[in-house]
Chain A
């Protein structure tokens, strides 16, 4: 038998290690934080990794979790050993099938990285609200509390389900466990084989659907027998706990780790006990050890098998001495007597405590903790035990927050608990792009796998996709590390980006005497004077050992560009003392070779060079014993901000959101818009600088800017006061505005430096061809001037919308963007479309946004890019779910339409007060142009005036809905994962309704937000997650499916290829009084392209016929009209030529050249066939029946 290895892996990896080996069919669908399990399973199968029976598991991606669960249901019914992975909303979508699977007593395991359900807000983080929603499905619920346990419980679940026949849901905490890297003892294949009983597998096969032994399952039953049949499964449920315990015992015999249905830790004579499940148990155990050391009689009861809940086992595990119990639930059930575990514990005690030999019924209190991965620390646990010690402890409480509204929270002392001194703790602050997390994971692996020490890494990311900050929390310990909370008292703090010292408080986490390593362009003698006072103060007060290294310089010299991770990692080992430095350097090099060896010798050598140069570049700083700087850190918000932003947003931005009390937050998830502008993240290295002398005033730069950070304004020479000296303007050349000035202005602190604007700029200097009308220049050289200029620019008046020809590219850019400075990736291909929509229609837009990238950069706290114009108007936005936004958007339209109808009804009722002419003009208003809309707004204002004094009930009813008479623009926005896959059913239905909604599909051809999984929009031959071997099938032609209805306006656009067609399509879609669908080609980092040239690359996408441009306008489908317009030319670039510029395709020609050749050939055939079809469509004459074409509006 092979030796068990100690490996350093995260929870998702630990699960998949087991699940992949014991499964034959794996149905998957991406959802955070469970996606990596499906990705690993797919990747392993695609390279031929086999299960314990020597066969490669069949991994299939479905269109939704609902689809995945149904595929699982089918596969187990046909006798395959099957598994799937999910979380949160995904689990909810599985519920209907889960009842069926359990009802049919079919063995399977569903692994859930437990995640918060969306309520007042979406959260990707961890709690048990999802798992608790499936309590009634009849599945066994088995909890794992740590990375080691995740592997072990996965094994126990797979083994037990076969014997019980009851399906198992194995869960563990999302992120805290699924993404925590920890050292575990990995099961060998022999272990796994030994745990699976082949006879049970045979029994499962024999129960399966088989035409040679036909059966009927899934009947419909009547009142006569359903009830009895439902009770027939009882013995199976009764047997589950026993079987699970037997399986645990068998596991213990084999592996040595003994688990029980309920595991108790602490004083055997405890009087106060906490009952809970999940990763928080780690924090409780630490506190219990401490209290036991102090002689306090406390304990922890960890629930492993939550369903079926075996009262006897629970009571047996509970010390008979217990007098008070606190049950902790990581979920919230509003309106319930208590949360689920609390209720079960209470019931169990009432049911059996005395019969089991207990005395007086213990006091039971219930508390909520850790929602959405809220920190849960030993200090909080101490407070709970303290509460239990009171004569009358608070019956219901929360811990971890300050609830100043219903006063449920227990106030705790964060310093009440200290981790043992021999646990070395480090915190690393970095940027996503500098590789800090990767290097830290590497360090954890180095320690975990090469020394007797245990190592743990947990990583915190912010919500931005450009310039995102990462914080890595690391522990090294001679013992197993159970600490399931962030490091807030560190022996080592590293700041990998110098400008962080200006922006965030890093050193509050430093212990006195800790080491502070700073990546600094300033040397040991200069750096002190560059630090803000707050930083100096902490260094002095805590007597920190302070080191600097110019990591950027070292990395650049080694040929690593801005990738400073290797340098910082080496410096960490050089000064942290975790390993002897020489040994550490050897291990770093080994790790480099292991991690990057297959990428090539050059990569390895460059990193080796960086390692060798790092220590020489490291310097200790001798600093004065007093604070010498009067400079303060930068504020977290800039400009004039609202009270809410000052009180709430600014704290969240400063990383102190945990301190906000309940009263500070909205009760219903409603937040103000126009907040991205207060951030001023200033993340660009280079920014575009305008050369007015050669600008041709086309507006393309402004159009393509993903962040609305370069803008165009036309204004009168007399506009504005206090023009800064560096402000540039030039006479406007167009005929529509005479004697006006034009300025193209960068927002220097909001620009991400992507360079897309410069790439598309068509104006080149006659003398120096590389010099364009805008050019990327170092920000620091221009910052002061451009800041002043941008402030002035914002103050300049905007053009009167009624005068702007917004159906042209240039005209569209004269309108103020109402979507600005989002956290999307630098060079994002989606946001320019959203911004364009906001410019054209944002002041009257209602947006329903499917979950995905666009909902994250659109609505992830702390701020939103949606903003308002001077009149306070702007897009109003909501995200319902991933799967339902088409229907949600339809609902918006239904409400708006109904309000309009009701308003018209009331207007007529009030025509005496308002005046018949005004009423009729309001009702009959055409609202086709900006002028019409402005006129209608004026009429509405008139009505408000007329009714100002009115006391009539009709007036009271009319006032709140009067604005609905101004044309509303309803937009349904989402990505292809939504439109093509999970939301297609709803979208398809909405297409048939004829209602005036505009559907914008930001089509990246991949699930971008969850990390690039294949969707049905993924083109043939592209490599994506879940399609590691290249997508085998042709891309779904969603546009033509919609065209087939006849009555849907459909446009396929690519802004980078034909911006005029894009602008035209947006106008046509919006003006069409029925359903409109725009498929917008959106380049994405998941394509593996140079994002700077993303827009110009779109030209090749169109020229190759990969993405033909067209518009189908039902308004032309009458009297023999040809409603289908093919707007791009016959393909002239071979597909392969286009494809090889994108890593998603090029990768395949590396990993599987023959397969690539075959798929690329087919992809070319797809293109040829599609073009042929579209060409024919362009000449098809259609005449739709006028009645069905009539739009209800």
Chain B
């Protein structure tokens, strides 16, 4: 039996649902090529950060201004380079070069949390040839006066603003810290998102006990983290027609299968690829095919969402937050 592994993400047809998410593996053209060779259906490039763009602009400006025109013998301290490849420019070059060398879709990624001039890079990414854009939104509120609605408004405004500047598909990657993920997801879709990527894994702070300094870092995901997207994709699937991508904690074929069953259009991987190498992608695709074969599924389309909240046998289990003794029903419901 031939099995159809293809899927659609952001309106783009993919050979199978396994994508490489943003990670150091997709920084360079060579890295993107290797991911393609290893079997990725599509690649998301690491984010270009609002903070980075603004910081870099400011730093270069300050570098040239610092101590310049202050002392007669040294009116400047650095040669003025006629051409600077700033991080954004390099990023755009990578998109263009990658698109020349690979045939898989390349999704560019932009990270930020406020509407501003920096979002013009979305357009430049489109012009550079990106097949889609992933807007990676991250905002940590610290002001008690700022409400959840205020926070959500920032996200929505940003998505709407970027949506206006580009015509390519726009995915939004966000975190779980919202009081109503479904409501928020719906708003994102209404603002123009063509896909949601669930979920962002944040850089978390740590404390260096020797230096007494906060040292943020990112640890690789573990496989059980996939249960969070599993829940929310299962819940959202019936409400949203836009693409849903699962990410976080996908290490083995079982994880991938479960997420597709829950309703994910695609599954994105990073930690496992960093840990075991990009070749894992090929292995997982094969494992998926074997599992489908053994379980007599014809296509990914067929299995996708078959265990969503709407379609699974015990939807209430998706809503359960705490352990408790399973509620056993001794009778059939009254009306049946």
Contact = CB atoms under 8 A, between A and B. Distances in A.
B291 interface: no
8 contacts: A437-B70, A438-B68, A600-B86, A602-B57, A602-B116, A1009-B74, A1010-B73, A1147-B81
A437 B67 CA distance: 11
Contacts of B73: 32-33, 35, 124, 856, 1009-1011
A1143 B65 CA distance: 13
A1024 B79 contact: yes
A1085 B80 contact: no
A46 B56 CA distance: 23
Interface of A: 32-33, 35-36, 39, 42-43, 46-47, 124, 175, 179, 431-433, 435-438, 441, 459, 461, 464-465, 468, 470, 563, 596, 598-603, 605, 764, 769, 825, 856, 1008-1012, 1023-1025, 1028, 1085-1086, 1088, 1143-1144, 1147, 1150-1153
**Chain B residues touching A, range:** 35 or more
Contacts of B117: 601-602, 605
A33 B69 CA distance: 14
Given A465-B70, A1151-B85, A603 B57 contact: yes
Nearest to B69: A437
B70 A1151 contact: no
A598 B84 contact: yes
Contact of B79 (A46, A435, A598): A46
Contacts of A124: 72-73
Given A605-B117, A1150-B86, A432 B79 contact: no
Given A432-B67, A596-B61, A1012-B74, A1025 B79 contact: yes
Interface string B56-91: 111111011111111111111111111111110010
B236 to A, nearest CB: 36
A563 B65 CA distance: 9
Contact of B82 (A47, A764, A1085, A1088): A47
A1011 B75 contact: yes
Interface string B245-288: 00000000000000000000000000000000000000000000
B212 interface: yes
Interface in B115-155: 116-118, 120
- Most chain B beta-carbon contacts within 10 A, residue among A441, A600, A1086, A1088: A600
Interface string B79-111: 111111111001000000000000000000000
Given A1012-B77, A1150-B86, A1151-B83, A602 B72 contact: no
Interface string B18-43: 00000000000000000000000000
B54 interface: yes
CB-CB nearest 8 A-B residue pairs: A432-B70, A600-B57, A1011-B74, A437-B69, A1028-B79, A1012-B77, A461-B72, A32-B73
Contacts of B72: 32-33, 124, 175, 179, 461
B67 A825 contact: yes
Contacts of A464: 71
B90 A1153 contact: yes
A1144 B78 contact: yes
Given A601-B117, A1147-B78, A438 B69 contact: yes
Contacts, number: 132
A769 B81 contact: no
Given A43-B80, A1086-B77, A1144-B78, A461 B85 contact: no
A1012 B78 contact: yes
A1159 B53 CA distance: 25
A1151 B77 contact: no
A1084 to B, nearest CB: 9
Contacts of A46: 79
A39 B73 CA distance: 13
B79 A1023 contact: yes
- Most chain A beta-carbon contacts within 10 A, residue among B58, B60, B74, B82: B74
A1144 to B, nearest CB: 7
Interface string B208-246: 000010000000000000000000000000000000000
A1086 B78 contact: yes
A808 to B, nearest CB: 24
Contact of A435 (B65, B71, B120): B65
A441 B76 CA distance: 14
A47 B291 CA distance: 59
B63 A1088 contact: yes
Nearest to B73: A32
A101 B63 CA distance: 42
Contacts of A1143: 59, 63, 78
Nearest to B121: A601
A769 B212 CA distance: 7
Contacts of B87: 1150
Contacts of A438: 65, 68-69
Nearest to B212: A769
A318 B69 CA distance: 43
A468 B71 contact: yes
Nearest to A1011: B74
B69 A599 contact: no
A871 to B, nearest CB: 35
- Most chain B beta-carbon contacts within 10 A, residue among A36, A602, A1008, A1009: A602
Nearest to B68: A438
Contacts of A441: 69
Nearest to A603: B61
Nearest to B79: A1028
A602 B54 contact: yes
A1151 B79 CA distance: 11
Contact of B118 (A433, A596, A602, A1147): A602
Nearest to A1026: B79
Nearest to A766: B212
Given A1088-B63, A1150-B85, A1153-B85, A603 B79 contact: no
B120 A601 contact: yes
Contacts of B116: 602
Nearest to A1014: B79
A563 B58 CA distance: 12
B57 A601 contact: yes
Contacts of B59: 1143
A599 B79 contact: no
Given A47-B82, A605-B117, A1011 B57 contact: no
B120 A461 contact: no
A1158 to B, nearest CB: 15
B79 A470 contact: no
B205 to A, nearest CB: 14
- Most chain B beta-carbon contacts within 10 A, residue among A433, A856, A1023: A433
Contact of B61 (A599, A1009, A1147): A599
Given A39-B79, A437-B70, A1150-B85, 6 more contacts: A438-B69, A600-B54, A602-B54, A602-B118, A825-B67, A1085-B67
Contacts of A1150: 81, 84-87
Contacts of A35: 73
A9 B58 CA distance: 27
B56 A600 contact: yes
Contacts of B83: 47, 1151
Given A602-B58, A764-B212, A1151-B85, A1023 B71 contact: no
A1114 B78 CA distance: 40
Given A1025-B79, A1085-B77, A600 B65 contact: no
A599 B80 contact: no
Contacts of B71: 432, 461, 464-465, 468
Nearest to B74: A1011
Contacts of B74: 1008-1012
Nearest to B67: A1085
A852 to B, nearest CB: 10
A217 to B, nearest CB: 37
- Most chain B beta-carbon contacts within 10 A, residue among A36, A764, A1150, A1151: A1150
Contacts of A1028: 79, 81
A449 B183 CA distance: 58
A605 B119 CA distance: 14
